[in-house]
Homo-oligomer: A and B are copies of this chain.
Amino acid sequence: MRNGKDRSEASVLADAAEGFDLSQSYPYRLVVLAERVSLAIAQVYADRFDLSRAEWRLLAALAPSREMTATELSAYSTLDKMQVSRAVARLEAAGRVERRADAVDRRAKRLRLTKSGRALYSAVWPLVLARERYLLGALDAEEMAGLDRVLDKVRQRADELIARG
């Protein structure tokens, strides 16, 4: 396993000398880290509970705040309205969420977890939280605080660039 890791030191140095090395790129490393972290956590809710990432996000979004519309969920979970629509459809079919028309705006449907949905959430989140804590356990208080700032600051710039096109 881990083939290709045995690149010669000369080859590695040659990369550095020529000025660009994918593996030294912070954005690349960030994306790879996020893929790995996402996978490590998805193993819990996907493999053991057959939830997609979108479904898990909606479950987590609805668990504390009781009721949200699809539009609110979309903003809160960074999923688009179709992803929300499909994830909700699947969760509803599984009896995990229920929807009822909003009293004032009958286009909107207010979503909330059923008892079964809350039970599922209660089963999943301690396991997810344990993995989160293990991942963050690698960091000291200062690194955590730094990460907190970095996540916000870089996110802001990324959103700027995306808006710029």
Does A153 belong to the interface (CB within 8 Å)?
A: yes
Q: A30 touches which one: B34, B78, B134 (CB < 8 A)?
A: B34
Q: A40 touches which one: B39, B61, B135, B161 (CB < 8 A)?
A: B161
Chain B residues lying within 8 Å of A76, measured Cβ to Cβ, are 4, 7, 22-23
Among residues of B, the one whose C-beta sits closest to the C-beta of A63 is B20
A158/B146 contact (C-beta < 8 A), A4-B72, A34-B35, A64-B18 known: no
Residues of A within 8 A of B (CB): 2-5, 7, 11, 14-15, 18-23, 25-41, 43, 47, 57, 60-61, 63-65, 68-69, 71-78, 125, 129, 131-132, 134-139, 142-144, 146-151, 153-159, 161-162, 165
Closest CB-CB distance, A81 to chain B, in whole Å? Answer: 10
Among residues of B, the one whose C-beta sits closest to the C-beta of A5 is B75
Q: A34 touches which one: B34, B135, B137 (CB < 8 A)?
A: B34
A139/B154 contact (C-beta < 8 A), A20-B129, A31-B34, A65-B11 known: yes
- Inter-chain contact A31/B38, CB cutoff 8 Å: yes
A3/B162 contact (C-beta < 8 A), A33-B30, A37-B30, A147-B146 known: no
